[in-house]
Amino acid sequence: MTELIEKDHGGYEVRKLPDGEVCVWYPDHFVLECECGGLLLCVDSASLCRCGADHSNLVRSLFDDQIGAWSYPWYQERPLLPEEGPFSLG
């Protein structure tokens, strides 16, 4: 059975340089242990182990558990009428 070893949420890391600072983005990743004993680092959609086992369903479910602001509709179901908008005069 495939086992989840590590789960790390992505984020920014600030690195100090001689001329200032730079932000580096690290994506979400998971470390899985396959049934064959091999370790698999999953970033985005890579889910094949060196033994050929496909862990795509597990990886997809792990990434789907992380719901962000982008998955919620920021718009309304219908467009606003001019008199309902944020700049309406009424």
DSSP letter for each residue of 17-82: ETTEEEEEEE--EEEEE-TTS-EEEEETT--B-TT--B-HHHHHHHHHT---GGGS--S-SSPPPT
Q: Where are the domains of the chain?
A: 3-66
From first to last of the 90 residues of the chain, give the pLDDT tens digit: 777 777 777 788 888 999 999 988 877 778 888 888 888 887 766 677 888 888 777 777 776 665 554 455 555 455 556 665 566 555
**What global pTM score does this model have?**
0.49
- What was the pLDDT predicted at 18? 92
